[in-house]
A and B are shown apart, each in its own frame.
Chain A
């Protein structure tokens, strides 16, 4: 059932303009892989090339070990869920689900069974006779996924499928898609610009920027050891704090103070520390700096503090529980030296 996908030096060019610059990637059978990146990074283009909706300008696409570059979309064993759902508005849900099977001239009885089964999986049986316009956004999303399931493809592709849903529904559908992946066990590729979706759903995250892979790996691997500034800033929310730093003998000059770190600091120009890895004035860890509290957000379970260092750099701090601070007051920020990230002048991470 599960199918491996291999991308070898995949290139996409429109005329003279190259937008995907030779991507190498292995997707293991049954993995849930998420392509994530800001708009224009090429994630959707890459997905569409795998789907066969976009010609591949260079390199090889292998599905199950077979070269697929010239194979038409319909014969790649792929089903895709579109951002817009792309449901046929003049057909009811049953006809939408059955369209692919009818096109493949499957026997009527088999179509009926498979549509019924997909509808049961997605709990849309009562909607089968309705037209898409009579469905809510979440229901349309289910039908779009159902249309993919019905075909029993080897590989599922999702192109930002949740971006048209409201926040609550997005969380719910996120869980359902993850569950679906567990139940079906197919290889799935999912494109999103939302790093939370990427973190929560992926077996493997592929971070793209400007047509190249910045880093690929398990969610926590990217969170714990980002390879460069871009990945460090992209993964995690609120995003990682970056402070200008200068390496000195025996330590790091940062935020107007000296920080002694038990690690290699040579060449570091940026110190990265995640908001959730900073504490305030409880004496644990190493003191980073004294900061002025500009604003606090109380989320109930957490308190987010927006502060400024003595040399005017912004610092976001996430504290557990409910904490009160006077605005404009100065507090001391502490860090765990093992959980800071150092980056060189090129923005690449410096090994600890």
Chain B
């Protein structure tokens, strides 16, 4: 290889140098690129391509049947000034994020701390608690959830033992979102596993030193566990928040794709779906998608910016 590039190479002027460069790329690097090709096709064809296209479409009117018509920023203007459903869906998703993420994280941490006490059969419990996370996003579970919180569902059966006649939780506007929040909290498995790993990293002798100092369990939790766990909390918070913003299936199944009752479960993604595949307003749906992306991006950036004030990295 070296001998050949030397022969055709250096002293023969620019053209020769260029051609030798191409030869080198072809002979040295081509197999590498060939192996990368499937990934390139996937990345450019299925990821970057649609992203760029959707950005373009967000400035158009497009119904899939006729070609896109350029409308400038109209979609965005309409969204913010003249679309109550946009604000309704934004409100629902924000509520969902604000309540489901902290509740889920708190619950995950609580269970992780229980499991971290070194009990017998820990791997079994860990697997059992993780199970809902595997199933949770599935259609089957959402349907099951619908049954549990229906008027004649399990929850009301349970309440009837105490003589309470419960409403249909999923079709009462003030409760319906909460059933979906509870469903989200129930899927605490993946942050729990990460919390458990994080808790294992905290050296036992820190707690021993603290207990010699007379610190109660609560004080140990507040002063040692929580601060030392902040990198994991930070990671989980970001991942779960992004997940929550993107949440779609439970709302779709439980409300039958309507976002009802009276838009109380009209998640942002559900509204986006309705616009795109219900009304075939692809341009407007693309604009909605970009606003969501910007929102998630802003939230994540904000989290990273504030992290230096509350996340403690060791070493």
Q: Which residues of A contact B (CB under 8 A)?
A: 51-53, 72-75, 78-80, 82-84, 86, 88-90, 99-100, 103-104, 133, 147, 151
Contact = CB atoms under 8 A, between A and B. Distances in A.
Given A84-B203, A90-B227, A133 B314 contact: yes
Contacts of B215: 74, 99, 103
Given A88-B223, A104-B214, 5 more contacts: A73-B211, A100-B214, A103-B210, A103-B215, A133-B315
A86 B214 contact: no
A86 B208 contact: yes
A147 to B, nearest CB: 8
Contacts of B212: 51-53, 73-74, 78-80, 100
A82 B209 contact: yes
Contacts, number: 63
A52 B211 CA distance: 9
19 contacts: A74-B215, A78-B212, A80-B208, A82-B205, A82-B208, A83-B205, A86-B208, A88-B206, A88-B227, A89-B312, A89-B314, A89-B315, A90-B228, A99-B213, A99-B215, A99-B223, A104-B213, A133-B314, A151-B213
A74 B314 contact: no
Interface string B168-192: 0000000000000000000000000
A84 B207 CA distance: 13
Nearest to B208: A53
Contacts of A72: 211
Interface in B199-239: 203, 205-206, 208-215, 219, 223-224, 227-228, 230
Contacts of A103: 210, 213-215, 219
A177 to B, nearest CB: 18
Contacts of B213: 74, 99-100, 103-104, 151
Contacts of B203: 84, 86
A84 B208 CA distance: 12
Nearest to A144: B209
**5 shortest interchain CB distances as A-B pairs:** A74-B214, A100-B213, A90-B312, A86-B205, A86-B209
Contacts of A147: 209
Contacts of A79: 212
A55 to B, nearest CB: 13
Contacts of B211: 53, 72-74
Residue among B212, B219, B228 with most chain A CB within 10 A: B212
Contacts of A74: 211-215
A73 B216 CA distance: 12
A52 B215 CA distance: 14
A100 B219 CA distance: 11
A53 to B, nearest CB: 5
Contacts of A51: 212
A17 to B, nearest CB: 18
Contacts of A133: 314-315
Contacts of A83: 205
Residue among B206, B208, B228 with most chain A CB within 10 A: B208
Contacts of B230: 90
A86 B242 CA distance: 36
B229 to A, nearest CB: 10
Residue among A83, A103, A151 with most chain B CB within 10 A: A103
A52 B214 CA distance: 12
Nearest to A99: B213
Given A100-B214, A103-B219, A104-B214, A80 B312 contact: no
A80 B209 contact: yes
